[in-house]
A and B are shown apart, each in its own frame.
Chain A
Amino acid sequence: MSLDNIKIVLMNRWILYFFIGLGLLFMSCNSTESSCPGESISQLRIGFTRETDSTTNHFIVYHPLLADSIYDSIVAPKYVDVPMDVTSDSMAVFIDFIIAQTDSTSEIKVTDVVAITYKSHSYIENLDCGVLMDFEIEEVYYTHNHLDTFYFRNKDINSEIVNHVEISY
């Protein structure tokens, strides 16, 4: 390209419009960037409501096959996120209520179990995020040794943060 041509091109007012437009387009393109969900494997959220109970002083949520308990605290949980068993189509969660006796010197443990059966759905929305797995709850079972009421709120376990089941005690 000759020097004359370069000058003509650089002086052209269209160049100015071009760079302004380019900046705006970059901004608009970046705004469409999608983000990855927090968990690649969606989790079951169990909501807890303390209604009649005033004696439980320790809460443990666990499964015997898992090395670590899912929740273990003297503070009553508002909710607990339970990792879904990706190797199966059913899963159980054990909830221990450690209850102080009236004489305050001893404790008893009351256990309830929440069990679900489900279908899993794996997919890739964005390779940068890896494989994602959602679930659909088919059936729910529970005991009510210490639970008062049980509510089945939402059958779809996905990136939406909602309580799927709720228990009150």
Chain B
Amino acid sequence: MWKYLISLLCLVQLAQAQVTLEEPKRQVFVRFGVDVSRLGLNVMSDYNHSGFEMSLDAEVKYRYFPTLEAGYNKLSHQTESINYQSDGNYFRLGLDYNILNYRQRFDRNLFFVGARYGFTAFSQQTSDVFLTNEWGTVELDFAPEDLSAHWVEAVIGLRGEIFKNFYMGYTIRVKQMLTHTEYGDIAPYWIPGFGKGSRVRTMGMSYSLFYAIPIKNPKPDFGN
């Protein structure tokens, strides 16, 4: 009887030891990213468009990556009949869920789906507005406006490690406007972080470079 019990205990101990051996320590890191696609905004737009965006994410639980994104957007448009400018900061807070399995997780690559809540506070100024028809030309005055908007996003994307701790990847976003301050005489052409103000649903894309700052349990040197 004692022989059986001791054997059983040994088996349990062995099984526990094996599990412990196979379970790698979870890495703790903070990944900092810069959206390099913002640099090309001016090329992709008919208007003078500039901005930048940064992000922070970390794996706080297996597969779950809380993410904070912040950016600045400025758009201006000047013609003979109008001078328009909008600019402002925006923030997004959300969570990504890594679809990749455990082995890839250890490499910290991501193929993820997620959600974001977005907020922006921005201002717009319109001046030198002229309207002309058969009767003549009139100059119009529009007061500067301070506005804000809230929206949600569904996101999907990839992060791939190109060098140790350096990543690149993209995020595709579908954004749905929730609410915004009531527009005056000028509906904003561009809402920072959201997109065209004339739409309630927009799409966006970020293409970013990242650096993962190791905090605890650095990645073993298995090679890429």
The reply to whether A83 and B135 contact each other, CB–CB distance below 8 Å, is yes
Q: Is the CB of B198 closer than 8 A to any CB of chain A?
A: yes
Neighbouring B residues of A105 by C-beta, 8 Å: none
Q: How far is the CA of A32 from the CA of B197 in the complex (A)?
A: 11
Stretch at the interface among A8-16, A48-56, A140-148, A160-168: A8-16
Residues of A within 8 A of B174 (CB): 25, 29
Chain B 82-116, CB within 8 Å of chain A: the 1/0 string?
A: 10100000000000000110001001010100000
In the complex the two chains form, is A32's CB within 8 Å of B201's CB? yes
Contact B161 A131 (CB under 8 A): no
**Distance between Cα atoms of A41 and B136 in the complex (Å):** 12
Residues of B within 8 A of A124 (CB): 84, 126, 142, 185-187, 189
Q: What residues on A are CB-neighbors of B185 within 8 Å?
A: 121-124
Contact with A along B103-147 (1 / 0, CB 8 A): 010010101000000000000001001011111111010100000
Q: CB within 8 A of A40: which of B104, B131, B136, B138?
A: B131
Instruction: Specify the main secondary structure of chain B where it touches its partner.
Output: strand
Question: When the two chains form their complex, are residues A28 and B201 in contact, meaning their CB atoms are under 8 A apart?
Answer: yes
Complex CA gap A22/B154 in Å reads 11
The contact size tier of chain A is: 35 or more
A88-B135, A133-B131 known; A127 vs B84 contact (CB < 8 Å): yes
Given A1-B224, A133-B131, does the pair A14, B111 have CB atoms closer than 8 Å?
yes
Q: Is B160 an interface residue (CB 8 A)?
A: yes
Contact A29 B199 (CB under 8 A): yes
A125 touches B198 (CB 8 A): yes
Chain B residue at minimal CB-CB distance from A13: B99
Chain B 165-209 near chain A by CB (<8 Å), digits 1 or 0? 000000010100000000001110100000000111111000000
B129's partner among A6, A67, A131 (CB-CB below 8 A) is: A131
Partner of A5, one of B47, B109, B199: B109
| Residue of B whose beta carbon sits closest to that of A40 | B131
B158 engages A87 (CB within 8 Å): no
- For the complex, give the distance between the alpha carbons of A25 and B202 in Å: 9
A37 within 8 A of B: no
A84 to B161 Cα, complex, angstroms? 63
> Which residue of B is nearest A87, CB measured?
B136
A14 touches which of B77, B99, B129 (Cβ 8 Å): B99
- CB contacts (< 8 Å) of B172 on chain A: these are 22
A1-B160, A5-B104, A124-B185 are contacts. A131–B140 as well, Cβ < 8 Å?
Answer: yes
Min CB gap A99→B, angstroms: 28
On B, residues with C-beta under 8 Å from A are 47, 77, 81-82, 84, 99-100, 104, 107, 109, 111, 126, 129, 131-138, 140, 142, 156, 158, 160-162, 172, 174, 185-187, 189, 198-203, 224
Which A-B residue pairs are the 3 nearest by beta carbons?
A: A1-B160, A127-B189, A123-B185
